[in-house]
Amino acid sequence: MQTLAKDFTVKLQDDRPGALAKAFEAIAKTGVNVDGYSETEGTLHVLTSDPASARKALETAGLKVSREDEVVVAEVQDRPGVAANIFRQIADANVNVTFSYVATNNRVVIGATNVAKAAEIVSKQGAAIG
């Protein structure tokens, strides 16, 4: 099964101890669960069940949401070749994946230049990935 959701890109003020904790603490105070995230060199991608509350919490904590992207979130099996199959199909459709990460409950998050096409591909792969 796949759905569309919102991913926030947050530039942490400093890539130093406590910066990531500040972002997660802000979201946690609202009671919103973080469903998936990726952080690399001070750039945080975060997926939540309540994007509006998460955005407000991050901004209230002084963190800037630099992007809000629609993403594909797909349930996948935990077995060899699943990711290879998904990303090969997307590549063969000439869609560029701009970022991707794993979320809770064996789900993959995919940001792409053509999210609608990526969602269509993942949907068609349904039985093979879920």
Question: For position 129, what pLDDT does the model report?
Answer: 55
Question: For position 127, what pLDDT does the model report?
Answer: 42
How far apart CA 67 and CA 102 sit, in angstroms, is: 19
Instruction: Examine the domain organization and report whether 32 and 79 are in the same domain.
Output: no
Count the domains in the chain.
2
The range of the structural domain enclosing residue 115 comes to 70-129
Instruction: Examine the domain organization and report whether 19 and 49 are in the same domain.
Output: yes
Contact 25, 19 (CB under 8 A): no
Please tell me whether residue 24 adopts helix, strand or coil conformation: helix
Instruction: With CA atoms as reference, report the closest residue to 122 among 106, 113, 109.
Output: 109
> Quick one: what percent of the chain has pLDDT higher than 70?
95
Instruction: Examine the domain organization and report whether 76 and 92 are in the same domain.
Output: yes
Please tell me whether residue 108 adopts helix, strand or coil conformation: strand
Grade residue 73 by pLDDT with cuts at 50, 70 and 90. Answer: very high
For residues 98-120, average pLDDT: 96
The rounded mean pLDDT for the chain is: 92
CATH of the domain at 49: 3.30.70.260
> Quick one: what percent of the chain has pLDDT higher than 90?
80
Grade residue 124 by pLDDT with cuts at 50, 70 and 90. Answer: confident
Instruction: Examine the domain organization and report whether 7 and 60 are in the same domain.
Output: yes
Check residue 81 and report its DSSP letter. Answer: T
Residue 115 has pLDDT above 80, yes or no: yes
Output the six-digit token pair for 6.
Answer: 């919102």
Please write the tens of the pLDDT for every residue from 10-67. 999 776 789 899 999 999 999 999 999 999 989 999 999 899 999 999 999 999 999 9
